[in-house]
Amino acid sequence: MIESGGKKTTSTFPEGNSREDHPIPGKDKEASSKKGSRDNVIIKVKDLNLWFGTHHVLHDINLDILERKVTAIIGPSGCGKSTLLRTLDLMNKLVDTCEMKGEVIYQGRNILERPGNIYDIRKRVGMVFQKPNPFPKSIYQNIAYGVHIHKIHRVKDVDEIVEQTLKDAALWEEVKDRLQESALGLSGGQQQRLCIARALAVEPEIILMDEPCSALDPIATSKIEDLINELKRQYTVIIVTHNMQQAARVSDYTAFMYLGKLIEYGETHQIFERPKQELTENYITGRFG
């Protein structure tokens, strides 16, 4: 059977990369003046353990997520990728049998213990799911709905938000003449970009994507990948994917998980070209998975 490479991976930050090495691309005054971005670790996961009932699903996870980067989480099915993602937007708190220990530090506090306003976290941390799940409403309403429930008050009216977010999600040109038509009439790839637009409409900081392309064909997939590349100018993206080529194409950092443990975390090219752990190497070379 597969043996671990032996070394324990406890480093939270990709080795050899001090935070000074990671200036925020296109860093602007706004970014440095708010959101506590003295450094650019936006979420810090510390010694996270998670159980569903007696099933110990996540083991001692330490992970620093960098602002305005794309981080991919890879690993075989059932290793805890989605569970880790759902810890970050506090979805696991809704599961009765779920118990968590450790810390998820976001905006200066451990949100597992002190989430503050949970709706505020959900607004700041958007989620895009595996299967596109637009509401059975018009394209326009799909975006406007999120804006209304989060009661965003600002000068721009909803029409403008709808247009801008559809543009940001690279969908506007395809749907601008049919905004009042049902979202269910869109192709799968368009529906997924609509779901991304819907997530963007409430102005999140972080976008979590759980295998966002697994239901899509290669062309639709490549549009989403291009979009992810654009999104990191403004957002922090964390993407779960079981497609290693996709991780290599879209991400700056990659975290490899196996049996609930974070085996290795580092810059994507390092993970794929010079993995430090034997387990990582076995996985990326397709010896198991």
- Can you say how many angstroms the Cα of residue 166 is from the centroid of all Cα atoms in its chain? 19
Residue 87 interacting with Mg ion (CB under 5 A): no
* Of 82 and 280, CB closest to Mg ion: 82
Residue 92 interacting with Mg ion (CB under 5 A): no
Alpha helices in the chain (DSSP H): 29-33, 81-88, 118-124, 139-149, 158-168, 172-175, 188-200, 218-231, 244-250, 268-273, 278-284
Selected binder of ligand ADP within 14, 80, 146, 212 (CB under 6 A): 80
Residue 241 interacting with ligand ADP (CB under 6 A): no
Return the amino acid letter for 200: L
Residues 261, 94 contacting (CB under 8 angstroms):
no
Return the amino acid letter for 255: A
- Determine how many CB atoms are found less than 10 A away from the CB of residue 14: 21
Selected binder of Mg ion within 71, 82, 191, 268 (CB under 5 A): 82
Note the residue count of the chain: 289
247 contact choice in ligand ADP, Mg ion, none (CB below 5 to 8 Å, kind-dependent)? none
Q: Smallest distance, Å, CB 189 to Mg ion? A: 20
Residues 175, 138 contacting (CB under 8 angstroms):
no
79 contact choice in ligand ADP, Mg ion, none (CB below 5 to 8 Å, kind-dependent)? ligand ADP
95 contact choice in Mg ion, ligand ADP, none (CB below 5 to 8 Å, kind-dependent)? ligand ADP
* Of 140 and 256, CB closest to ligand ADP: 256
Residues that bind Mg ion (CB under 5 A): 82
